[in-house]
Every structure is written in C-alpha cells, then in structure tokens.
Structure 1
Amino acid sequence: MRATRLLGLDPGLRHTGWGMIESNANHLRFLACGSVDSDDKGDLASRLLSIHTQLAKIIEDWSPDEAAVEETVVNVNALSSLKLGHARGVIVLTAATAGLPVSEYASKRVKRALVGTGAATKEQVAMMVTRLLPGARAVTHDAMDALAIAICHAHERSTVHMLRDGRIMAGGRP
C-alpha cells in the first residue's frame, strides 16, 4: 500500500499553519510544517493573494494527496470572523484548485481525535502531536494545530477505509 501525503491547514489571516504528514495504514510520519504569513499592514486583497501564493508553492513543493482544514470558529468580534472566513476561503480554494480533495474538521473533533476529549487544551494537543510525530517538536502553535488537523484526517481516513473494506463494522466491531 502506498503512503498518502496529507496536508493539514489551520486558517488564519496573519498566520496560517500548515503541516505535512505521510500516512500508511496506522503509521504516521512527520514530513514538514510551518506557517504562511501575511503582512498585517497590507490591504485585505494583497494579504489574501500572499496566502494563496505561498500555499500554492507549498502544495507544488510537497505534492500532497489530500488536504484537511479546520472549520472556522465564530468569534465575538464579527469583523475578525469575517476576515478569517476570507482567509479560509482562499485556503480551501487554493487546495481545491490544485486538485486536492479537501476535508473539514471542527476544532473539538480534532481535539477528540488526538486527546479523547473536545475540551483538550492546546498543550495536551501539542503533546499528542509530538508523541505521534517524533521530530515535530520545535514548531509554532499554528503549525502544531495544522499537524493535529492532519493527524485527525489520517485517523478519519483509516476508519473510513476499514469500514469500506469490511475490516470493522459500523459499530466498531471486527
């Protein structure tokens, strides 16, 4: 079975985290991570273009097979939520334009997949990321969140494939 490259994306207008992992059955391997940054002094259009250009280069360089993006959380500040929505739209469009299937996950679902509870702290999630992906220790919070999204997607994919192949039944029993 061929390993699948998964790109996790944690949307942000100022900093968009990205994390690239390889998934082969139940084995995960850290490949790379970082953040796509835009100049907060620039106008919205130029910032969105910067995110698109940088992310398109990452996709070109790493050739992922699929992408996973965190869903937007609505903040108290409506303007911040709207700007984040713009950035997220560009991120999803950039991945889709590159031909990648894009899956979306709520923050609580990502936390539950890694730690077992949707109320997990960032520190708990980061600890699990470093346990599951040795070598991913010295990264930013945005990149760590992106790696967590990629891991969540890897787990979801694995479960879907096992259900499809009849290795487990819908109730989780073999």
Structure 2
Amino acid sequence: MELILGVDPGLTRCGFGLISGLTAVDYGHFTSSPTQDPRDRVGSIADSLDRIIETHKPALIAIERVFAQANLRSVMGVAQISGALMALAFRHDIPLEFFTPSEVKLAVAGNGRADKAQVSEMVRRTLNLEETPKPADVADALAVAICASKRAKGLGTNAQQKWVAAAKSANRRLG
C-alpha cells in the first residue's frame, strides 16, 4: 500500500497523519509560538513537515483546503502553512490534493456536517486505534488522509464518484 500524508495546516498547531491503506503509520502535530517571528514559525513547521516527507516518502500529500472564517489571522496562518506544503510537494515531486472540510467529513463520518467529535471517533474506528488522536488537529489530519485514500480508490456510489470528479475538475480550474 502506498503512504498518504494528510495535513491539517495551521500556524499555531499543524496536525499530520500518515496512513497506508487503513493503517496509521505515524501521526502527531507541530507547534509554533505566536511570539515568534512569522518567518520562523512557518519555517519551523515546514522543516518538520519536510523531515516527515524525507523519512516516509509518501506517494500523495492531502491537505484540508483553506476556507474563509471570521478570523483573518487564522486563515492567514493556514494559508501560509499550505503554501509551504505546496512548495515541499513540488520539491519532492509528490502529488498534492486539496479537500474541503465537508468533503473530509463526508468521507470519514458519512455526513458532510459531522462535528469534530464524530469525525475523531470515526477516525479512531476506521484506523482501529485504541484512543482518539489528540489534539483535534491530529485526528483531522488523519481524516484528510482517509478521505484521500477513499477518493483515490474511487469508493462511493455512482453519484458520489461523479461529485468527486466534478470537485476535482473545479479544483484544477480554481487552483
């Protein structure tokens, strides 16, 4: 089975999860302090992600797409880490796919509006983990990897597969 690296990007806390099939290979999170220079914060998390990529050599990197929130500072941090991860994917010549939060929730919990607790529990069950990964950013990163795994295999109903194809086409147009 090929490894998939799922990332829940964030500047204060960035979750990652590596899966092979439906087995968790490695997972955790990286942090940075708001008192640090933004360049150092992004650089530190990017270096940590680069070490994960170098060590495990994933076949695919999956990332949760930035969506507009009321908190502009939070959106900027997510976008900065996403950009750093795109550069790493380019450097290592690894395909990168983006997934919306509702896409991830639907793939993992069967409901695009599932709450964090439902998603975390389904990640635990799907990957047969003894405990729910914490903090939530770690469970979210594993959920992104599971979503990528399911999408890559073309799982789901005919209608879901058509929806996925349309979403992929839209992602290519929107960048």
Deviates more, 1:75-84 or 1:30-39: 75-84
1:76 aligns with 2:64: no
More helix per residue: 2
Which residue matches 2:16? 18
Q: Give 1 or 2 for the bigger CA radius of gyration.
A: 1
Counterpart in the other structure of 1:148: 143
CA contact (8 A) 1:69 1:92 kept: no
SS at match of 1:96: helix
Does the 8 Å CA contact 2:109/2:118 hold for their aligned counterparts?
yes
Deviations 1:40-81 (A, max 9, x none): 210111111101111000111112111100001211122332
RMSD: 2.0
Q: Which of 36, 41, 47 is 1:42 aligned to?
A: 36
Partner of 2:169 in structure 1? Answer: none
Give TM-score, length-normalised by structure 2.
0.84
Paired residues, number? 158
Supply the distance in 2 between the matched residues of 1:152 and 1:170 (Cα, whole angstroms).
16
Stretches of structure 2 that go unaligned for 5 or more consecutive residues are 164-175
Q: What SS class does the counterpart of residue 9 from structure 1 fall into?
A: strand
- Using the alignment, how far apart are the partners of 1:155 and 1:84 within structure 2? 24
> Per the alignment, in what secondary structure is the counterpart of residue 153 of structure 2?
helix
* Residue matched to 1:134: 128
1:114 is aligned with what amino acid?
Answer: V
Q: Which residue of 1 aligns with 2:171?
A: none
Amino acid at match of 2:141: A
Letter in 1 for 2:12: R
Unaligned stretches of 5+ residues in structure 1:
164-168
- Percent identity between the two aligned chains: 31
